[in-house]
């Protein structure tokens, strides 16, 4: 299922998302969905926890690297600066597409991905 940011979701019929939110509710214990889901404090582990196709490739003191082979994108959480580098992969190299401050909540991360034209699926 395609993931929308919170404001876009308000324009869509809730029934379309009720099954996925039921699964999220069971997994997380969140009760006020989707509001609580979108307001989860962002941590890099949420990328692999909630979104299909992303895998943790590297985790060091300086950065955490996630790859999505299907869409040829990588996301690097640069720990010292707290920034998020979203890169398009070309021939096994990361070409930096954009740099964002670390998202505060999950909705910020979703919105940043949408801006970079990264498809997120649950």
pTM, full prediction = 0.77
pLDDT of residue 63: 86
pLDDT of residue 18: 65
pLDDT of residue 121: 86
Delimit the domains of the chain by residue range: 6-115
pLDDT of residue 92: 66
pLDDT of residue 115: 85
- If 0-12 CB within 10 Å is exposed, 13-18 middle and 19+ buried, where does residue 66 land? buried
The series of mean pLDDT values per 10 residues for the chain, 122 residues long, is 74 63 69 78 89 89 84 80 78 67 90 84 84
pLDDT of residue 95: 61
Q: What is the DSSP letter of 121?
A: B
């Amino acid at each position: 299922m395609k993931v929308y940011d919170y404001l876009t979701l308000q324009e869509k019929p809730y029934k379309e998302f009720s099954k996925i939110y039921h699964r999220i509710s069971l997994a997380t214990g969140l009760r006020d969905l989707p509001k609580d889901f979108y307001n989860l404090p962002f941590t890099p582990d949420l990328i692999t926890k909630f979104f299909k196709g992303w895998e943790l490739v590297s985790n060091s003191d300086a950065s955490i690297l996630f790859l999505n082979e299907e869409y040829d994108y990588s996301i690097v959480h640069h720990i010292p600066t707290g920034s998020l580098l979203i890169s398009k992969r070309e021939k096994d190299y990361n070409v930096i597409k954009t740099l964002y401050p670390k998202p505060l909540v999950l909705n910020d991360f979703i919105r940043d991905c949408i801006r970079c034209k990264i498809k997120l699926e649950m």
